[in-house]
Amino acid sequence: EAQVTQNPRYLITVTGKKLTVTCSQNMNHEYMSWYRQDPGLGLRQIYYSMNVEVTDKGDVPEGYKVSRKEKRNFPLILESPSPNQTSLYFCASSPGTRKTGELFFGEGSRLTVL
Residue 91 CA to residue 105 CA, distance in Å, equals 6
Minimal distance in Å, beta carbon 84 to other proteins? Answer: 18
Q: How far is the CB of 55 from other proteins (least distance, A)?
A: 12
- Residue 33: which H helix or E strand, with range? strand 31-38
Binding residues for other proteins (CB under 8 A): 4, 31, 33, 35, 40-45, 50, 56, 90, 92, 94, 97-108
Closest CA to 19 of 69, 96, 89, 103: 89
The smaller minimum CB distance to other proteins, of residues 2 and 14, is found at: 2
Query: What is the DSSP secondary structure assignment for residue 106, as one 8-state letter?
Result: -
Smaller CB separation from other proteins, 44 or 71: 44
The answer to whether 22 and 66 are in contact (CB under 8 A) is no
Residue 50 CB, nearest distance to other proteins (Å)? 5
